[in-house]
A and B are shown apart, each in its own frame.
Chain A
Amino acid sequence: AQTVTQSQPEMSVQEAETVTLSCTYDTSENNYYLFWYKQPPSRQMILVIRQEAYKQQNATENRFSVNFQKAAKSFSLKISDSQLGDTAMYFCAFSPPYNDYKLSFGAGTTVTVRA
């Protein structure tokens, strides 16, 4: 399995502020996919955002955006204008290009949004 590292176990942010979650990975592949998944307390995990490695443009989904640095093997998630509903555990994940079953996850970062 590929190695995916999330170095921040927990983060706290004030409502309406911005928080950035870090993720690094290790691979020898040139093309692959990166994901951020969100797991709210006692709720199902859902996909937040996806990045294809061959696309230079950083992916954006509403208040969520990524900073993809391919050479540095870094894939950070920025949550802008944080809302109470953003409180969740966030997982960074890596998928090789040839199929989607080998999804390797990081350890997760718990984000708490304070009112």
Chain B
Amino acid sequence: DVKVTQSSRYLVKRTGEKVFLECVQDMDHENMFWYRQDPGLGLRLIYFSYDVKMKEKGDIPEGYSVSREKKERFSLILESASTNQTSMYLCASSLGQSGGEQYFGPGTRLTVT
């Protein structure tokens, strides 16, 4: 079974802090994704990566950056956390094929105070 893990289930940070969210997948998938999930808005893509050191912006990249130094690991970085970044963050991975299934991690609920 594909396993996607995220470093924290719950995280509380202060405004202005630098925040790292880590995601690891164990199935040698090419693609990895970061989404944020908000009530009434569904999932929105922040960034994705299709290969090591490769990244592309999704629909809402402002205020975020990412890092993919190894194929299995994809990090989301909030350079200076703000209260409007309080949300559920979901990581996912998939094989690089059209119409392929995405496999999700358990999510990190981030609260910025």
Contact (Cβ within 8 A) B31 A100: yes
Return the chain A residue nearest B104 by Cβ.
A45
Q: Collect the chain B residues with CB atoms within 8 Å of residue A43's CB.
A: 106
Q: Collect the chain A residues with CB atoms within 8 Å of residue B35's CB.
A: 105
Contact (Cβ within 8 A) B99 A97: yes
Cα distance, A35 to B59, chains bound together (Å): 19
Residues A105 and B43 in contact in the complex (CB < 8 Å), given A99-B96, A100-B94: yes
Q: Collect the chain B residues with CB atoms within 8 Å of residue A33's CB.
A: 98-99
Residues A101 and B99 in contact in the complex (CB < 8 Å), given A91-B42, A107-B40, A108-B42: no
From B59, B90, B97, contact of A100 by CB (8 A): B97
Query: Is A24 interfacial (CB 8 A cutoff)?
Result: no
Contact (Cβ within 8 A) A44 B105: yes
Contact (Cβ within 8 A) A107 B42: yes
| Size bracket, chain B contacts | 20 to 34
From B4, B102, B107, contact of A103 by CB (8 A): B102
Q: Collect the chain B residues with CB atoms within 8 Å of residue A101's CB.
A: 31, 33, 45, 48, 50, 56, 94
Query: Is A1 interfacial (CB 8 A cutoff)?
Result: yes
Residues A1 and B59 in contact in the complex (CB < 8 Å), given A44-B106, A95-B99: yes
3 smallest CB-CB distances across A and B, nearest first, come from A33-B99, A105-B42, A45-B104
